[in-house]
Structure 1
Amino acid sequence: MQHPNDDLEPTEILATRLPGTTPAGGDPLGAGARLGRYRLQSLLGRGGMGEVYLAEQLEPVRRTVALKLLRLRRLEARHLAYFEVERQLLAQMRHPAIAQIYDAGATAEGFPFFAMEYIEGSPVTRFCDERRLPLRQRIELFIRICEGVQHAHQKGVIHRDLKPGNILVDEVDGRPLPKIIDFGIATAASRALDGSGHERAGTPAYMSPEQAGDDPAAVDTRSDVYSLGVVLYELLTGQRPGAAGETAGTSRQRQPLPSEKLAALPAEEAARVAVAQGGSVAGLRKLLRNELDWVVAKATRQERSERYASAAELVDDLRRFLHGQPVLAVPASRGYVWGKFFGRHRTALIAAGVMLAALLGGLTMSLYGLSQARMQRAVAEQRSDELEKVVAFQQSMLESLDMQTMGVRLAEALNRQAASLDPLASEGFGALLARADTTDLARELVDHSLLSSAEAAIERDFADDPQLASELRESVARVQAALGLSVKAANNFGQVADYRSGALGESDAATLRARQGQVFALLAAADLEQAQALLQRSLPQAASLPANDGVRVKLQLAQAQIAQAKGDRERSKTMREELLAALVGQFGERDPAAMEVLNELAGAQRVLGELDQSRANLERLLPMRSEVLGAEHEDTLATLGNLAILRMVTGEKEGAVALQRDLTAKQIARLGAEHPLSLHARGTLANMLTDSGRAEEALPLMQSVLEARMRVLGGEHPQTIRARLNLATNYARLHDYASALPLEEQVIESRSRLLGPTHPDTVSILINHAGTLHRAGRSADTLKMLNDLVPLARQVLGEKHPQTQASLLIRAEANMALGRSDAAIAAYTELFDMRQRVLGDEHLETITAAWNLVDAYNALGQPERAASWHQRYLAPLLAAAPSTLNEAQTNLVAAMREGRRPGKE
């Protein structure tokens, strides 16, 4: 059910820049002062970042708010846009345990402010102590707090300053109601104040080790889990883990566990803590030592990978404790598990003992039999549920396997083994292994050792239960599809669909789901004919499903994919457009199925070169997916990345960089800075910065990406080699050829060895290297390379390839630099003839080649020959009406009018 306040109020969608009202010197504002639509009533408190006021909002609604004015530093104009994005993200949060952000903006002096829900409450620790809440009620209250944190994390927001003072509790209808305040405010301010992240938000005593460190990129949702662990510690013991004033996250000594902290307290203080929780010191210590110690310890691990992965996992373990179930943080042992089982079922077990005694006495045989049957049925049902969870967990783990990384690790292990057995032969073995496809090797090992064994076990052990066998086979098929084993996946999906067709009918949703998996596996295996034949059978059956059912829509999209794969791109686009119109007309454009089709349509438009239309559709799609699916949903992030690239290729470089920064921050927050997806996002951002003329800014980012990929993937991984090449290109843009050339040589050596000297990627880097040598003033070395390289490029890449054409341009430029005018003109002419032949007379690249000749003839003092080329190829474009030119033509005309030299490779 939708909450009545789910829609943003008018104040939440306004960006404000208030007239100058902030006193100089940071003095508090007086009662009655106005900040835009707010009238201040009193000062509630001051802190390191600013003041909090009780205020009245005057329009468009009247209400009491808490207004936080942040005066640590002013926001400059260039930071306001990012600050606006961040506050919109904060306003998306809707949870009973989170104080609502109503409005945000900045004063004319640049000080940011937030207007938020006013909470009349006490810090959670004080509330619990004043009302003497028992241990169970404290944990129940803490669970509601964790649920609020988890909600924010799902919205892409990290608090970074969770502490009792930011968790206020009030009593509503006799029930404690927690409210988390300042959620993300410090983050929004610091990000806006300093894009480099140098502003560190947080309170030292509750700060995680990574947050207390020097790398802001290391902070993710697990930092909030750490802070929650410290708050729980304080709720249980009345004390924080470390000594007074100590930063918990940076302490080098092991922090005492809660039970140890309680034991170390003076007797009077320990008794006060225990009585406040409704028990004795010994009883509280026993509860803490047996289980809650483990929960707190896991939440506050120094290594974030060892903590609870999310606030939801912490909640799950605390609920287990409250329900008497085994706590996952406690090391498993039979005694512990059976002890918890006995604790949960004490009455039932005693009753069972009485019944057993009666059985032995011959009194209640039938009752015993009935109770045993019921018990067995309950155990069987519970076991079934557990097995389903295990299968789902194992399937998700297998689907997420990264075959490339596994292949690299396999190669590293083999190299280590070879070196230990025969150090002299290890180098040759390593070179030979580097030429093998370790990704395919890893995939083959997983397939042979795991998936094929699973298939055999299904055939052997579940032949008498075909329904269960089909469910297990479908799970194997999904893993096979995720790992790229498309033919095997199609076969297994087919067997599942055939069984369900006979048992349930061809139009049953479960049958059609398996058919959809079979169709997409066939498409991945490039078996278009069989995929199309299946679609012709399945689409009429899918008509019984709702029009926006995911399976039905995917089958319809598969039709469009087949048309595109067969080369009929216009028909493929038309099919997507028709499907989108039908879904939007019936369900609206925010329907998940409609959004999926819109995304597919944008992809089809991009393939057709309709970049403006593709971008416009992605601009529509991104806010819808963010709102409906969440800002961190994988579909939302995929749209964000695609839109950033399209903005880049359509010339809006600043907008592209801003989007890519957002994507990079989200991936780091979700996955950590060195996850492959995070590294890809960081590398793409660095490339965009370089292409935007900000090579200096991109340099440290490229260096860090290369270092991480070398450490995570190894020096020979294709992504590592690509990162090395990107860094070399960036150095060349900065005219630091002393750094660029050695990196390019490393890439040449790696690609020549791993791919072969005539591989297209090897030839491309050789051409890049020739161009860098020329720009470094080594034109003679450039020409020596190009003697063999130009014919090789024609043979391997073909004349249409931009790098083949670039090799001729580099040859011409190097000859010009050495004063070899005839050879230069010959190379320029050869380039023109090639482009005219493969691209046509009116193509922009052909005209640019003519401009190269005009420029060269003018430089050689031959204006009459330059005029001839100018009149034939440049003059028509210069004379054209501006309204008839596209963006690329307009840019070329502007360059020619400004007298800039034609672009050199």
Structure 2
Amino acid sequence: MGDPRDFETLDAWFDRLLDAAPDERERTLADLRRDDPELADSLVALLTDVTASEGFLENEASAARDRMLAEMLTDDGWRPSGASPKDRCGETLGPYRLESVLGRGQKSVVYLARRADGEWDEQVAVKVLSRGVDTDDVLRRFLAERQIMTVLRHPHIGVMLDGGVTDDGLPYFAMEYIDGQPIDDWCREQALPLAGRLALVRSVCEAVAFAHRRLVVHRDIKPSNILVNRDRQVKLLDFGIAKWLDPQAQPGFSARTQHMVRPMTPAYAAPEQREGGPVSTATDVYQLGLLMVTLLCGVDRPRHAMGVDDRGAPQRRASTVATAANLPYPPAELRGDLDGIIHKALSADPEQRYGSAAELLADLDNYREHRAVQARTPGAAYMFGKFVRRRPLVTSAIAFALVALSVWALLVAHYNRQLQAEKAAALDALERAEETRNVLVRFMTEADPFNNEGSGADARIRDALAGADEIIGHELAGRPALQADLYGVVADVWDGLSEGEAAGQARRGELAALASLPDADPVRVLMSRHKLLNADASDLDTATFLAEIEKIRDTLARDWPDAVVERATVEKDLGYLHRRYGSPDVALAHTRAAVELLDTEPSPDPIQLSFALIDLGEQLAVDRQFDQAMTMMERALAIRLERLGETHAWTLTNRLQIASLLTDMGRLEEAIELYDALVPGYEQRLGPLHGQTVSVMNNHAMSLMGMGRYEEAEDVLSDVVARRRRAGGESSRSLADGLQNLGAIQLRLGMIDQAVVNLNTAAEIYQQVLLPGNPLLGYPHLTLASIHADRGDVDALIFHAGQAELLLQGNVPEHHPAWQKVHCLVGDAQLRQGQLEAGEARVRQGLAGFEAIPGMEARHLDECRAALARAGIAE
């Protein structure tokens, strides 16, 4: 067996037998024994050893196989070992006493243990490396698993609690004990419907996507490594053969080990794993595809069931291999989208699969929410069907209207025969009704891209609203009341999508239609003007913008005092704007007024009250009245939980604001824990590239930075920047914000060159997308000036400090922290140029301004003091 060709033959036969059913395996071995008894005996020995190694938390059958196959190439050949790992039951490792064996693997044993130090009572699972297999390579892999588990803290991943070394020098780690069942057994015993199984798959995808964001590929996703606990929660386990995507973080293995060992479970391995090629996040996607086949089709051998060929490509569709006898739903439910999703996940070429678990998760959400999936090529009928499923009330209303119109037409004909005198009027009414019907049909067939000429496969609301202005303006010409209603709805939707320009265009249409109505509601006109101002905010200077909204507020209070909700809305918006532009006292007064208007029993609009309470909480937090702020936030959350439920976007936003408040209160551990839970929620609700999802990640990074966990913060912000590039291109305002924050973090980490590049790029984007007078224009220059001050680059310091002063003067209040920093940096530049008197005065002005701001970070004051010290001036 020393010839590599023999190794390849043995390897191929072993893969084939592992995938075969027991009776088929026996027949194959019997036939093989007649032709090649030595090969048959070797295969039986391998299969026997692997079968004995199946265990809880670990199933490294493939790793054992490759080790044995490698040993068969040696001169001495291979003999099965009868040695078994030491039984450590009764031993104490750290604070844990080992009670019983949960499972034995090729290289480790997993024990059920209980905390024995008296601190508290807790059951855990302890994994201990076995004596006799503790080679350098195995030890490195075991320690790599332990290191990987320390960075993977997610609700659907088993949590590592502790680690150490036994008295006889073997490493171990303790993790939460999960009292549960493998996911396939759970689905079968609970007779879960399709929706329930898909929910479990989503949870697994969330866990794997989280690992991918931490640059970890699992490589061994299969039912035995996924448990469902008593709370019906999924737990992904066994990162024993996981791999770091970052080469510098990946544990090293010897050249021989890398060549000989291909860690995998053959039945769930991706083609590149079986061929010994490079693995990536797409490798996990393939395994997730096989997991979906197992769970959704009710089969035990997904590769065999799907007819996977030598390249790794499936030859059958999931809906055709699903076993009706094993499923509580008809296999036909898998036809269409789910067939397509599974087929894409199982593409033999990694480039043709979903790029990551997050992309697979997004397409599962598309299926669940009746949107077009990436895995299928859209056609008109397909897109129309999605629209109907996604908006059943709208389509039902349209269908009802069409039936009503038909009935009305029959009635008109009937009365025409009886009442010839009313013929003209009836025909005119029928013509108007038919015209309205045509508008609705046009809106559905043209505004919603149900054909191959659409901008993408997904009929999302942006596509559905494209061209709405033309349809409303032309098809409803002469019907201003209906035009105003439709324009208002379209504008509100664009507002919700943060599309200010499109919202402004629709809002102008609404105002124009209202202006032609002699009896238009004046309060509605005022609120439409108010919303238009918000949409056009970036095109107005600050003073004009605020003055126009103040006029609307005063008009409402004077002429329509009973318009409580509208008055509160304007007060709340004024509070937000004054806070944004640096006038906290004025902001607080406006926000309190909004709460007082709405805070009656019962409230005229509880949801609007929740918004006002949140704004008031944020204002109180700025004033460092943290306990009162938390009270406001929790009141708002109670309203939203009662009215909207746990998963509503506004409820998630409320929790996000509580996380931000916890950060301000210095309760950073609690904030980070809440952010960790919020990011998957936002990804599920809004998608991984949605602006709000990425903002949550940005806030998460800020909390990590507050804890001094700069490297983790830099990782998250790098992801933020990457997502914003994918979503908005290279010149979006949000990308500039992300680059500004990333540069600031990199400055803390000493990554100066990277920080300078990112901050310069942010400054360039701001110049392209912001109007003069926006304070954000100056912020990158402030940070760049600080960098060059530390570097001693006087020319760069002078330039960037001067730019910051030019861009911020008059655009932030005199007491704003950014303006104090301008004083210090400009003064520093003057001192370095020999302008000692002027420079000292500016630095001292900035220093005094910083000292007057409660809670100001010491580093800002230290920078000012350092400028004086460099010039030899005593503080």
Q: Which residue type is aligned with residue 637 of structure 1?
A: L
CA contact (8 A) 1:751 1:757 kept: no
> Is 1:303–2:362 an aligned residue pair?
no
- In the alignment, what sits opposite 1:451? 468
- Structure 1: distance between partners of 2:200 and 2:222: 14
* Secondary structure in 2 matching 1:715: coil
- In the alignment, what sits opposite 2:617? 602
Cα displacement (A) at 1:183: 0.8
Q: Which residue type is aligned with residue 174 of structure 2?
A: F
Distance change >3 Å, CA 183–CA 612, structure 1 → 2? same
CA contact (8 A) 2:112 2:125 kept: yes
- In the alignment, what sits opposite 1:828? 840
- In the alignment, what sits opposite 2:293? 230
- Structure 2: distance between partners of 1:77 and 1:624: 43
- Structure 2: distance between partners of 1:620 and 1:52: 46
Cα displacement (A) at 1:698: 4.0
- In the alignment, what sits opposite 1:714? 729
Cα displacement (A) at 1:680: 3.8
- In the alignment, what sits opposite 1:134? none
The equivalent position to 1:778 in structure 2, one of 793, 817, 824, is 793
Q: Which residue type is aligned with residue 198 of structure 2?
A: C
Q: Which residue type is aligned with residue 777 of structure 1?
A: G
- Structure 1: distance between partners of 2:804 and 2:630: 38
Cα displacement (A) at 1:724: 3.9
- Structure 1: distance between partners of 2:302 and 2:859: 73
The equivalent position to 1:256 in structure 2, one of 301, 310, 315, is 315
The equivalent position to 1:574 in structure 2, one of 592, 601, 607, is 592
Cα displacement (A) at 1:618: 3.7
Cα displacement (A) at 1:451: 2.6
- Structure 2: distance between partners of 1:749 and 1:143: 48
Cα displacement (A) at 1:498: 12
Cα displacement (A) at 1:452: 1.8
Distance change >3 Å, CA 219–CA 830, structure 1 → 2? farther
- Structure 2: distance between partners of 1:296 and 1:854: 62
CA contact (8 A) 2:828 2:867 kept: no
* Secondary structure in 1 matching 2:731: coil
* Secondary structure in 2 matching 1:111: strand
Cα displacement (A) at 1:602: 1.4
Cα displacement (A) at 1:257: 1.2
Within 5 Å, give how 1:283-682 maps onto structure 2.
297=343, 303-304=353-354, 309=362, 450-459=467-476, 475-482=489-496, 483-484=499-500, 527=549, 529=551, 557=569, 560-561=572-573, 569-575=587-593, 578=596, 582=600, 595-606=610-621, 610=625, 613-615=628-630, 617-618=632-633, 633-653=648-668, 655-668=670-683, 674-682=689-697
Distance change >3 Å, CA 809–CA 39, structure 1 → 2? closer
Cα displacement (A) at 1:255: 1.5
- Structure 1: distance between partners of 2:808 and 2:577: 28
Distance change >3 Å, CA 749–CA 104, structure 1 → 2? closer
Cα displacement (A) at 1:643: 3.6
Distance change >3 Å, CA 760–CA 514, structure 1 → 2? closer
CA contact (8 A) 1:150 1:310 kept: no
Unaligned runs of 5+ in 2: 1-83, 115-121, 130-141, 165-171, 212-217, 252-262, 386-433, 537-547, 579-584
Q: Which residue type is aligned with residue 828 of structure 1?
A: E
Distance change >3 Å, CA 519–CA 219, structure 1 → 2? farther
Distance change >3 Å, CA 240–CA 562, structure 1 → 2? same
- Structure 2: distance between partners of 1:226 and 1:190: 19
- In the alignment, what sits opposite 1:183? 234
- In the alignment, what sits opposite 1:112? 175
- Structure 2: distance between partners of 1:627 and 1:106: 39
- In the alignment, what sits opposite 2:197? 145
Q: Which residue type is aligned with residue 776 of structure 1?
A: R
Q: Which residue type is aligned with residue 792 of structure 2?
A: G
Distance change >3 Å, CA 157–CA 329, structure 1 → 2? closer
- In the alignment, what sits opposite 1:806? 821
- Structure 1: distance between partners of 2:826 and 2:196: 69
CA contact (8 A) 2:488 2:510 kept: yes
Within 5 Å, give how 1:721-736 maps onto structure 2.
721-736=736-751
Q: Which residue type is aligned with residue 111 of structure 1?
A: A
- Structure 2: distance between partners of 1:392 and 1:45: 62
Cα displacement (A) at 1:778: 2.7
- Structure 2: distance between partners of 1:753 and 1:450: 27
Q: Which residue type is aligned with residue 197 of structure 2?
A: I
Q: Deviations over 1:390-409 (max 9, x none)?
A: 6999599xxxx99xxx9xxx
CA contact (8 A) 2:294 2:301 kept: no
CA contact (8 A) 2:732 2:769 kept: no
Q: Which residue type is aligned with residue 829 of structure 1?
A: A
Within 5 Å, give how 1:237-248 maps onto structure 2.
239-240=302-303
* Secondary structure in 2 matching 1:240: helix
Q: Which residue type is aligned with residue 718 of structure 1?
A: R
Q: Which residue type is aligned with residue 229 of structure 1?
A: M
Distance change >3 Å, CA 488–CA 232, structure 1 → 2? same
* Secondary structure in 2 matching 1:184: strand
Q: Deviations over 1:42-76 (max 9, x none)?
A: 96998999769899xxxxxxxxx999777798999
* Secondary structure in 1 matching 2:844: helix
Cα displacement (A) at 1:146: 3.2
CA contact (8 A) 2:103 2:109 kept: no
Q: Which residue type is aligned with residue 257 of structure 1?
A: R
Within 5 Å, give how 1:97-136 maps onto structure 2.
111-114=174-177, 116=179
- Structure 2: distance between partners of 1:208 and 1:277: 26
Cα displacement (A) at 1:450: 1.1
* Secondary structure in 1 matching 2:176: strand
Q: Which residue type is aligned with residue 316 of structure 2?
A: L
Distance change >3 Å, CA 532–CA 667, structure 1 → 2? same
- Structure 1: distance between partners of 2:696 and 2:720: 10
Cα displacement (A) at 1:824: 3.9
- Structure 2: distance between partners of 1:847 and 1:123: 55
Distance change >3 Å, CA 824–CA 613, structure 1 → 2? farther
Within 5 Å, give how 1:160-175 maps onto structure 2.
none
- Percent identity between matched residues is 17
- Structure 1: distance between partners of 2:645 and 2:268: 28
Q: Which residue type is aligned with residue 456 of structure 1?
A: G
CA contact (8 A) 1:454 1:476 kept: no
- Structure 2: distance between partners of 1:734 and 1:770: 17
Q: Which residue type is aligned with residue 771 of structure 1?
A: S
- Structure 1: distance between partners of 2:632 and 2:147: 27
- Structure 2: distance between partners of 1:149 and 1:69: 27
- Structure 1: distance between partners of 2:474 and 2:826: 63
Within 5 Å, give how 1:791-802 maps onto structure 2.
800=815, 802=817
- Structure 1: distance between partners of 2:766 and 2:789: 22
- Structure 2: distance between partners of 1:725 and 1:150: 34
Q: Which residue type is aligned with residue 830 of structure 1?
A: R
Distance change >3 Å, CA 622–CA 809, structure 1 → 2? same
Distance change >3 Å, CA 515–CA 734, structure 1 → 2? closer
Cα displacement (A) at 1:769: 3.1
